[in-house]
């Protein structure tokens, strides 16, 4: 964690260096983003490890949800900060920066955002250096104190576990596609005449809604153990219906699509985000249950890498097909990405390797 925080400090610091030479500035920004990306898998895969190490078995899903979804709250804030602080060239900004649309003024606003991000990351790094214990004085459960597999044995176990690979595919496809889709949401919704600010609000509320629902569902999962698969199936049923609604709403004029209104666009986009984002902690808990005693960090690091891989593939596609037709294809991909997890999870038999230790410890029956 200390190394990850240090990489983030260096990455955000390099990006915020004020230079007039745009060619050098471009490479510094790419280098900073690379360092941030290197720190990402460790931070994104930490929540299940923290919940197992610090919390009792009947609190793990909630702890995982809070830790995993806080990062999404940061992403939700970015949907607002970008459009509201940095003026858009297409005249869609609404705050104080909108008075002057010159390139120089836009560049100055971007620089202010970079400085603010560096300051926040530096404060987090200072907090990690000052106090970040690795474990509590006493383990909260048998699973927290048990011996785990080595790195080599863990990777062999993961790659040979067909059940894990199927669940990992069900997780990485929709989460990776949604991450890339959300990052260019304003571009995708441009053909529907949606402004950058409106797209930012759609992304904000879909992410915040996913965080709130995810924590609530995790609390329910803690009280009703053994329901992870059913919860995920219900979530992706809702995600499939919502993404189908969105796709039919935003189809090019063909005479057969659903009417496009502000209410339907907001509702369908927000529901897609809520159903998919709220599934993240449930997937993390299901991964750990399936492959225990493989260390939580290794397991979630692998699935995070796969998710980023699918996100990169989507952005790579959009780089070469940034036309209206390409954006329409991405809407279809978002719909397909919600159908695949449901079909995969429905065929997977879930195992409860870690849950058995909790059953022996407490005498509870795992359903």
Domains of the chain, residue spans: 149-367
The gap between the terminal CA atoms of the chain, to the nearest Å, is: 35
* Tokens encoding 21: 């030479």
Mean pLDDT of 224-241: 84
CA atoms lying within 13 Å on the CB side of residue 311: 18
What CATH code is assigned to 149-367? 1.20.1250.20
| Interatomic CA distance for residues 107 and 60, integer angstroms | 44
Predicted pLDDT of residue 122: 93
| Interatomic CA distance for residues 20 and 28, integer angstroms | 12
- Max mean pLDDT among 206-210, 331-335, 362-366 falls in 206-210
For residue 338, pLDDT beyond 80: no
Predicted pLDDT of residue 354: 59
Predicted pLDDT of residue 92: 45
Contact 348, 171 (CB under 8 A): no
Length of the chain: 367
- For the entire predicted model, the pTM comes to 0.75
**Nearest residue to 92 (alpha-carbon basis) of 245, 223, 194:** 194
Predicted pLDDT of residue 93: 45
* Tokens encoding 10: 């260096």
Tell me the three state secondary structure of residue 292. coil
Tell me the three state secondary structure of residue 364. coil
| Interatomic CA distance for residues 179 and 273, integer angstroms | 10
């Amino acid at each position: 964690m200390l190394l990850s925080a240090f990489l983030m400090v260096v990455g955000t610091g390099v990006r915020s260096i004020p230079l007039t030479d745009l060619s050098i500035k471009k490479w510094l920004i790419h280098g900073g983003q690379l360092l941030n990306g290197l720190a990402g898998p460790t931070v994104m895969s930490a929540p299940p490890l923290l919940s197992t190490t610090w919390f009792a078995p009947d609190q793990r899903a909630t702890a995982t949800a809070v830790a995993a979804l806080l990062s999404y709250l940061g992403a939700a804030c970015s949907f607002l900060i970008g459009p509201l602080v940095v003026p858009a060239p297409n005249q869609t900004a609404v705050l104080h920066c909108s008075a002057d649309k010159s390139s120089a003024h836009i560049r100055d606003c971007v620089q202010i955002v970079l400085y603010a991000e560096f300051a926040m990351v530096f404060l987090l790094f200072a907090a990690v250096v000052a106090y970040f214990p690795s474990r509590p004085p006493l383990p909260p459960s048998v699973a927290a104190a048990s011996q785990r597999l080595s790195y080599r044995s863990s990777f062999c176990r993961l790659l040979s576990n067909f059940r894990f690979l199927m669940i990992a595919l069900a997780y990485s496809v929709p989460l990776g596609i949604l991450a890339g889709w959300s990052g260019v949401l304003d571009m995708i919704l441009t053909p529907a005449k949606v402004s950058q600010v409106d797209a930012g609000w759609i992304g904000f509320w879909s992410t915040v809604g996913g965080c709130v629902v995810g924590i609530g569902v995790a609390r329910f999962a803690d009280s009703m153990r053994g329901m992870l698969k059913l919860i995920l199936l219900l979530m992706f049923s809702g995600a499939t219906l919502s993404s189908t609604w969105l796709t039919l709403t935003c189809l090019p004029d063909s005479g057969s699509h659903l009417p496009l209104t502000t209410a339907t666009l907001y509702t369908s986009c927000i529901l897609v985000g809520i159903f998919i984002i709220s599934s993240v902690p449930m997937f993390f808990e299901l991964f750990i249950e399936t492959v225990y005693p493989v260390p939580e960090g290794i397991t979630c690091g692998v699935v995070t890498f796969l998710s980023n891989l699918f996100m990169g593939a989507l952005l790579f596609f959009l780089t070469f097909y940034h036309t209206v037709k390409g954006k329409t294809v991405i809407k279809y991909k978002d719909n397909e990405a919600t159908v695949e997890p449901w079909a995969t999870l429905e065929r997977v038999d879930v195992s409860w390797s870690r849950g058995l230790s909790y059953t022996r410890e407490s005498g509870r029956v795992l359903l």
